[in-house]
Amino acid sequence: MPELPEVETVRRGLAPLMEGRRILAAVARRPDLRWPLPERFAERLTGRTLRRLDRRAKYLMADVGPDANGVDEVLVMHLGMSGSFRIEPDTGPPETPGDFHMPRSRLAAHDHVVLRMEGGADGSATGRTGGVEIVYNDPRRFGAMFLLPREGLAAHPLFRDIGPEPLGPDFTPEALARALAGRRTPLKAALLDQKVVAGLGNIYVCEALHRAGLSPERAASTLTAPTGHPTALIVQLVETIRTVLEEAIEAGGSTLRDHAQVDGTLGYFQHTFRVYDREGGACTSPGCRGTIARLVQSGRSTFYCAACQR
């Protein structure tokens, strides 16, 4: 499952090609992904201008303006386990920013939704001005797309219980202390709870806990003082989570196995993991002689160093 940095990488890649542009044609090549597509999906999107592309947790949020009845709507998209967007320009191959590897499969059988965008300067290094097709490819079809009214969107069942964005101003030591107070669940499980913080997944929680020197097994409540105030450990953890995510976004996302950048390439951050998928490797923390171990928590692999994570 792509995590927040992967989704943010996709958003940043698509935004220059979609924001402020009209959808000349939308094509749905099947009636469903994980769930049925909205009624008259392609018809309702065709001709509308995509005003802004945002992200909430692991969802992409495209503001497509008013429908035929004047109701402002948002195209909500989730990549699921293997979904990705591919940019197909009028001429030439997809541009490949940076030094990447492992091209994404482009099997037409898995191209389920296509958005034909009007041309216009996209601000890229190539100065591409022609139209492009944004192709949603999803071999496993665990992704999803919804058209939802903008009014009341925060109260929709998809979003009403999602916690603060870890890179936003509401994710503070005080907020995390309140969320963890009284929770006896293991710290890693608590951070994976989307009600506590939005968008965190298995990979980056493992990485953040290692950098912060915190055991994934310790009770979540131990990071909150008896008064309910944040401890120094929570202050450090909040800062570390931000740093890990920002580094991953800068590197283009971890892109494990199926996940790919919008231009069909994979990024490098997966090669800089300190603990994730490094069972038996030496701990990289300064002065630590420990070995990376693996345990299973709630059916998911946890990678950590028992010597320096307490």
Instruction: Single out the residue of 92, 91, 93, 54 nearest to residue 76, CA to CA.
Output: 54
Q: What would the 3-class secondary structure string for 96-127 be? A: CCCCCECCCCCCHHHEEEEEEECCCCCCCCCC
Q: Is 2 a catalytic residue?
A: yes
Q: How many beta carbons lie within 10 A of that of residue 147, not counting itself? A: 19
Question: Residue 9 corresponds to which tokens in the numbers above?
Answer: 């990488």
Question: Residue 205 corresponds to which tokens in the numbers above?
Answer: 């929680």
Strands 132-137 and 144-149: unpaired
Catalytic residue among 22, 106, 178, 300: 300
Question: Residue 309 corresponds to which tokens in the numbers above?
Answer: 């994570």
Q: How many beta carbons lie within 10 A of that of residue 307, not counting itself? A: 14
Annotation-wise, does 183 bind a ligand? Answer: yes
The rounded Cα 176 to chain-centroid distance in angstroms is 20
With contact defined as beta carbons under 8 Å apart, do 295 and 285 qualify? no
Q: What is the DSSP letter of 259?
A: -
Q: Is 216 a catalytic residue?
A: no
Catalytic residue among 55, 58, 104, 128: 58
Annotation-wise, does 56 bind a ligand? Answer: no
Please name every residue paired with 7 in a beta bridge, in sequence order, or none if there are none.
Answer: none
Q: What would the 3-class secondary structure string for 60-76 be? A: EEEEEEECCCCCEEEEE
Annotation-wise, does 78 bind a ligand? Answer: no
Q: What would the 3-class secondary structure string for 263-283 be? A: CCCECCHHHHCCCCCCCCCEC
Catalytic residue among 3, 19, 133, 207: 3
Q: Is 188 a catalytic residue?
A: no
Measure the CA–CA gap between 185 and 196, rounded to whole angstroms.
Answer: 12
Give the containing element (helix H, strand E) for 11: helix 4-18
Q: Just list the catalytic residues.
A: 2-3, 58, 300
- Residue ranges at the known binding site for DNA: 110, 140, 183
- The binding site comprises 110, 140, 183
